[in-house]
Structure 1
Amino acid sequence: MNYVAAENLTKSYGIKVLFENISFNINEGDKIAIVAKNGSGKSTLLKILMGKEIADSGNVIINKDIQVVLFDQEIDFDSNLTVDEFMMTLDSAPIAALKNYHKSLHSTDNDFIEKALAEMEVHKAWDLENEMKQILSQLKITNLDAKMGTLSGGQIKRVALAKLLTETRAEHRHTLLIMDEPTNHLDVEMVEWLENYLNKAKITLLLVTHDRYFLDSVCDIIWEMEDKNLYFHNGSYATYLENKMIREDNTNATIDKANNLYRKELEWMRRQPKARTTKSKSRIDAFYETEKVAKTDTRKQGLELDFEMKRLGNKILELKNIDKSFGDKVLFKDFSYQFQRGEKIGIVGKNGAGKSTLLNIIQGFEKADKGEIETGETISFGYFSQKGLTYKEDERVIDFIKEIAEFYPLANGKSLSASQFLRLFLFDDQSQYSPISKLSGGEKRRLHLMYILYQNPNFLIFDEPTNDLDLPTLTVLENFLQMFQGSLIIVSHDRYFMDRIVDHILAFEGDGKIKDFVGNFSEYREAKSREESLEKNTVQKQEAVKENTSAPTQAQNSTKKKKLSFKEQRELELIEKEMPELEAQRGKILDQLNNEADYEKISKLSADLETVSEKLETHEMRWLELQEILGEA
């Protein structure tokens, strides 16, 4: 089934053309990742598919039988709503049925109650609320009564992600799920859970992500946006890189041929008299076409450079018996570590475990509760935080970098100009002379990163550097850091990035414990998994020994409690609410009968008594059945 058909789409902003005459199809079951440099038009393309932007030219046809849902970087919400209320603002029939069912629990209108129960059956909504809470729990959102306005930016994005996943679960129809950087603000456990969820879900997916392990796990088609074009790759991220390299090699071979021809034709052009024949006119036209190809700049300047880093002394950085707590929460206790020259350390752990706090203590932004910090005299920190750049609205990119220095020193005595260094980090000439305020969010992150590196520090500290960076920029950054001779600390949830860069892990494992592990991130995860598996096996063996010694009888096992289904649990709650009300109603009728002498009124009250008594008896019988299921009868 075809979901989306796009033909010859073109979109520009001013003189900048994002993409030109691109065409594509999205079919049922496709799981597609979009890879592109920031500012290439990824987010714009997603907005065109959502109807939030209009292409300059071309057509987009979306199948009328599908729904399109978007997880965006910008979240709209009412800050006064609780998390639970925000989740229930979903516009879908199953959610509407669930809302009516909740209302029916406080109603005495039997018709409304029966209608609400029927809607729950029709829309298969009995398990929806449980699943919604499970998704929120997996994303570490447990307080459903918290106001949206009190949540952190990361928590708001996780609630919005839970709402989106609930929406795709609630709608039992064809869905195209569009996700723009869904793994930002998720820790590793959340990312792995989301991978499994999307793999199992029967959905069609269009995804923008910088997380290459996540991309490989979830998607099997890659769309590459580059130089205003759209290229298609079937397979893994490695396949995409291989295809891209082959295409660029072929393009460069064509350019080399054009350069050779251009030199010959240029010589001919210079020898030509002013009065030219028709025959020479066609050759002149061909010359200009050849010139255009010959001057195409496709080769990206590499990072095979010998950078001159500021000298590191013998003393780098040493932490001695550091303690830090917030109230009753212990972040780390009696932690000591001596950093070495050239050491590349990754810091991992759940959100809120204390990773950023440790970075702040190292740099003197916060004080430890206890302990000493000794920093070498030659240390020059370069800190890439999540706060973003501070700049003047009308300041140009090139001027912003030149404020630090005109040139970046190389070890061979030469240097790179500010413009050349910008080009290394994928800022072309047009971007360099653009106001910073006109850059996309990802481009600003890239400039912030470059700003830190251009200051030539010898101790780099990166707090979630990969958020909002595109894959081409990440590749450049990884190449830079692999050659970096100074010390490096990285806090990141990007498993691929950590595996490429770090050789040592400090893992925040909770309760103030920081584990020192030599190896990359995947090696740490494997060791952690083996450790957890061993602990689980030990617990199971201990439980098995207990069971054998206690030897429960068959009768004891038969009375073991069973779990009610969601529908039965709701039914039990409703019965337990209505039974006291029916008993009170029955008692009131009996009092009226005892004091009534009119025959007609006695007849009516007797009929009412019979109806109420029958309903009460039915409720009592059903209550006993449900209690029997629980094993309490």
Structure 2
Amino acid sequence: MAHLLGIEDLRIIVGSRALLDGVRLGIEDGTRVGVLGPNGAGKSTLLAALAGKREPDGGRITRAGDLSIALLTQSDDFTPGTTVTRAVHGDAPEHEWASDPAIRDIHAGLLADVSPSADVTTLSGGQRRRVALAAVLTADARIVLLDEPTNHLDVEGVDWLARHLNARFSGRRAGAGALVVVTHDRWFLDAICTNVWEVVPGVDPGGDRPQVPGRIETYDGGYAAYVLARAERARQAAVAAAKRDNLLRKELAWLRRGAPARTSKPRFRIEAAEALIADVPPPRDTVQLAAMATARLGKKVIDLEDVSLSYPGRGGGAAPGAGPADGAAPAEVLRHVTWRLAPGERVGIVGVNGAGKTTLLRLLEGVLEPTSGRVVRGTTVAVATLSQSTHELDALADLRVVEAVAQVGERVMVGGKELTATQLVERLGFTRQRAWTRVGEISGGERRRLQLLRLLMTEPNVLLLDEPTNDLDTDTLAAVEDILDTFPGTLVVVSHDRYLLERVTDHQVAVLGDGQVRDLPGGVEEYLELRRVAADGVGRGVVVGARDRPGSGRSGDDRPGDDGGPGPSARPPLTGAQRREATKALGRIERRMERAASRIEDLHARLEEASAEPSRLGELAGLGRELAQAQAEHAALEEAWLDAAESLES
């Protein structure tokens, strides 16, 4: 593979702190790198240095000749009056980019709900973020650097982005380029990455002791391989530390031995002891969450009974409390939904942005009241909600972190031990200096950690989490998941993080914006299949949160024709079970078609490579036969897909 970029003894200084030092890395053609590390470790600064937006303070970065690099930052800076088309494609004429299938795929995957002529500055934050991502992906760049690209993307959008990046940066294609992505989405990392760079922050021990600069540790494979390799490194470090401690004890014991009048020791023994003391690897920042006692939960938790909710006069997707728009139709978010939460139930909620996931949580919390129907809560229910914005901390902006925790409780019992507010804050990963920082000055990730701790200290038995992974690094996410594993109450999680949902919840439901809550026996993968089928105009899924009312059909089942008889297909109507099986079969066929298309693309690339090398001309005949077989298989799958789609329309 061709070498694209090299890093030699890179040093980056921010203020008085050595963010990184002595970094040596390389990027090859076809490499897909995921960058991990705690908040503030220097991941975004590293990307800026790779892109040439920031000069290093030491060392050098070498780039291949005429190498083009595209960078997606976390901030979007658009000039007012810039249209979506100009923001993505600049001054390029439409016929140049509209004829490219890859660019059309980017438009369909990221900009389907955005008008090309719209002013970018008038769009929502999520839409602006997707416009910025589309501009980077359509750029003609050999290396693409993405800083938190999955922010503001729903589960479906993250799945599309993973498939797009895998196809574009496949190492099997010559000149595929390289990808470097900073993200805390672990499913996304596992889906796309061939390597992981972990940014380990430096340590300032204080006093006269020298500062330990940050460093980058490299791992082969995706997130799962990184976790295994990191665990093995930790085990080996523990063994080395045990050996070092034993040697140090022996050396110190020897230094203490001898006659009291002896005033000198052999210098080599003193140096050996000093070397053992100095040979201590810099520690990692750790976060340790602890389970608090949970109030008893009775048999009844929260029941939604025939609940409907509309925002009057808003015409869709408005927030409650907003004023009515003249002539706008009511926006119906939920329609005749019956849903019962059981004691100890652990459920994840997925859905498209703006479909009503947060509204559903606010109904469960009791902040919103339904337009019709009722919400029944058990007498022992104690609800705690972690909101997306952690706006609850805004009123505490002038308090110190320790004071914000002490406001809930000065002391709390954890694992049979009584801990003070200061001890709890330190276990949550706040250094002593950060523990006395004002709440208004801490980072987004620290705000979420702090608010989660405050919630757990109230001892809730129903926990509602709205996008809890926002702004959290992977170590903190692992700590949060550990505490959620031991939470004995009822847990409801809204998240686009597939890894979190599959890790801490037992089953998932979908909110698709049609007023219903749909069960997902097949998990997130079934949700994605349901969305793909809906995009093609076939199937509606299985409505499990809707109340079956006399005289109304079940979400697309048993649709009569205009004359009350069978529909135009003249096939017997499918039962609910048959429709579910047909939907699954359709999804299986689509996945096989994707694999077949990928194989055809790979064979085309191999044919091009073989035809360019005289020594490989003998391979052309065999590759040609494989290509013909793959194309025949793809054509047969297309026929099968059409048959399955027609059966669903009946």
Output the TM-score relative to the length of structure 2.
Answer: 0.70
Give the superposition deviation at 1:544: 8.9
Matches within 5 A, 1:23-172: 23-88=24-89, 90=90, 95-96=91-92, 98=93, 125=97, 127=99, 132=103, 134-139=105-110, 140-167=112-139, 171=140
2:643 match: none
3-state SS of 2:375 partner: strand
2:580 match: none
**1:449 maps to 2:432:** no
1:469 match: 472
Q: Who wins on radius of gyration, i.e. which is larger?
A: 1
The worse-fitting range, judged by mean Cα deviation, of 465-474 and 509-518 is 509-518
Cα deviation digits, residues 291-330 of structure 1 (max 9, x gap): 3446965696866x66311232343222221101243543
1:288 match: 274
The worse-fitting range, judged by mean Cα deviation, of 347-356 and 258-267 is 258-267
Give the superposition deviation at 1:492: 0.7
Q: In structure 2, how many angstroms separate the alpha carbons of the residues matched to 1:529 and 1:83?
A: 25
3-state SS of 2:408 partner: coil
2:404 match: 400
C-alpha distance 468-232 of structure 1, shift in aligned 2 (>3 A): same
**1:252 maps to 2:224:** no
Q: 2:188 aligns with which of 197, 202, 214?
A: 214
Give the superposition deviation at 1:530: 9.5
User: Is the 8 Å Cα contact of residues 192 and 222 (structure 2) preserved in structure 1?
Assistant: no
Give the superposition deviation at 1:85: 3.6
1:505 match: 508
Q: 1:344 aligns with which of 332, 336, 346?
A: 346
Q: In structure 2, how many angstroms separate the alpha carbons of the residues matched to 1:333 and 1:87?
A: 38
Q: In structure 1, how many angstroms separate the alpha carbons of the residues matched to 2:280 and 2:216?
A: 22
List alignment gaps of at least 5 residues for structure 1: 100-119, 547-633
C-alpha distance 288-434 of structure 1, shift in aligned 2 (>3 A): farther
Q: In structure 2, how many angstroms separate the alpha carbons of the residues matched to 1:307 and 1:454?
A: 6
The worse-fitting range, judged by mean Cα deviation, of 388-397 and 23-32 is 388-397
Task: Tell me which amino acid in the other structure corresponds to 1:186.
Answer: L
Task: Tell me which amino acid in the other structure corresponds to 1:5.
Answer: G
C-alpha distance 270-16 of structure 1, shift in aligned 2 (>3 A): farther
User: Is the 8 Å Cα contact of residues 39 and 439 (structure 1) preserved in structure 2?
Assistant: no
Give the superposition deviation at 1:179: 0.5
Give the superposition deviation at 1:59: 1.6
Q: 1:233 aligns with which of 215, 219, 231?
A: 219
List alignment gaps of at least 5 residues for structure 2: 169-175, 202-213, 312-328, 541-556, 559-566, 572-650
Output the TM-score relative to the length of structure 1.
Answer: 0.72
3-state SS of 1:352 partner: coil
Q: In structure 2, how many angstroms separate the alpha carbons of the residues matched to 1:381 and 1:350?
A: 25
Residues matched between the structures, number: 506
Task: Tell me which amino acid in the other structure corresponds to 1:346.
Answer: G
C-alpha distance 399-336 of structure 1, shift in aligned 2 (>3 A): same
CA RMSD of aligned residues (A): 3.4
**1:323 maps to 2:324:** no
Give the superposition deviation at 1:246: 1.1
3-state SS of 1:342 partner: coil
User: Is the 8 Å Cα contact of residues 6 and 25 (structure 2) preserved in structure 1?
Assistant: yes
C-alpha distance 449-4 of structure 1, shift in aligned 2 (>3 A): farther
The worse-fitting range, judged by mean Cα deviation, of 447-456 and 199-208 is 447-456
1:458 match: 461
Cα deviation digits, residues 226-258 of structure 1 (max 9, x gap): 252212211232221111111111111111122
Task: Tell me which amino acid in the other structure corresponds to 2:72.
Answer: F
User: Is the 8 Å Cα contact of residues 495 and 522 (structure 1) preserved in structure 2?
Assistant: no
C-alpha distance 31-149 of structure 1, shift in aligned 2 (>3 A): same
Cα deviation digits, residues 494-552 of structure 1 (max 9, x gap): 1111111111322113421211345743466578889999967999xx99989xxxxxx
C-alpha distance 301-210 of structure 1, shift in aligned 2 (>3 A): closer
Give the superposition deviation at 1:16: 4.3
1:198 match: 165
Matches within 5 A, 1:270-419: 270-271=256-257, 276-277=263-264, 279-293=265-279, 307-326=292-311, 327-388=329-390, 389-390=393-394, 396-410=400-414, 413-419=416-422
Q: In structure 2, how many angstroms separate the alpha carbons of the residues matched to 1:157 and 1:59?
A: 31
Q: In structure 2, how many angstroms separate the alpha carbons of the residues matched to 1:530 and 1:524?
A: 10
Cα deviation digits, residues 136-190 of structure 1 (max 9, x gap): 33224332233223211111101111121122xxx2xx52100011111111222
Q: 1:179 aligns with which of 129, 146, 154?
A: 146
Q: In structure 1, how many angstroms separate the alpha carbons of the residues matched to 2:513 and 2:438?
A: 44
User: Is the 8 Å Cα contact of residues 2 and 26 (structure 1) preserved in structure 2?
Assistant: yes
User: Is the 8 Å Cα contact of residues 317 and 339 (structure 1) preserved in structure 2?
Assistant: yes
User: Is the 8 Å Cα contact of residues 2 and 63 (structure 1) preserved in structure 2?
Assistant: yes
C-alpha distance 18-208 of structure 1, shift in aligned 2 (>3 A): same
User: Is the 8 Å Cα contact of residues 221 and 232 (structure 1) preserved in structure 2?
Assistant: yes
1:263 match: 249
User: Is the 8 Å Cα contact of residues 399 and 439 (structure 2) preserved in structure 1?
Assistant: yes
2:591 match: none
Q: In structure 1, how many angstroms separate the alpha carbons of the residues matched to 2:123 and 2:531?
A: 31
Q: In structure 1, how many angstroms separate the alpha carbons of the residues matched to 2:20 and 2:435?
A: 20
Q: In structure 2, how many angstroms separate the alpha carbons of the residues matched to 1:310 and 1:13?
A: 46
C-alpha distance 276-64 of structure 1, shift in aligned 2 (>3 A): farther
Q: In structure 2, how many angstroms separate the alpha carbons of the residues matched to 1:449 and 1:375?
A: 23
Cα deviation digits, residues 346-392 of structure 1 (max 9, x gap): 11111111111111222233332112122234333222212134276
User: Is the 8 Å Cα contact of residues 387 and 465 (structure 2) preserved in structure 1?
Assistant: yes
Q: In structure 2, how many angstroms separate the alpha carbons of the residues matched to 1:524 and 1:434?
A: 43
Give the superposition deviation at 1:132: 4.9
C-alpha distance 4-496 of structure 1, shift in aligned 2 (>3 A): same
Q: In structure 1, how many angstroms separate the alpha carbons of the residues matched to 2:198 and 2:261?
A: 46
User: Is the 8 Å Cα contact of residues 346 and 505 (structure 1) preserved in structure 2?
Assistant: yes
3-state SS of 2:53 partner: coil
Q: In structure 1, how many angstroms separate the alpha carbons of the residues matched to 2:533 and 2:113?
A: 28
3-state SS of 1:498 partner: helix
Q: In structure 2, how many angstroms separate the alpha carbons of the residues matched to 1:481 and 1:400?
A: 22
Specify which structure has the higher proportion of helix: 1
Task: Tell me which amino acid in the other structure corresponds to 2:165.
Answer: L
What's the % identity of the aligned pairs? Answer: 34
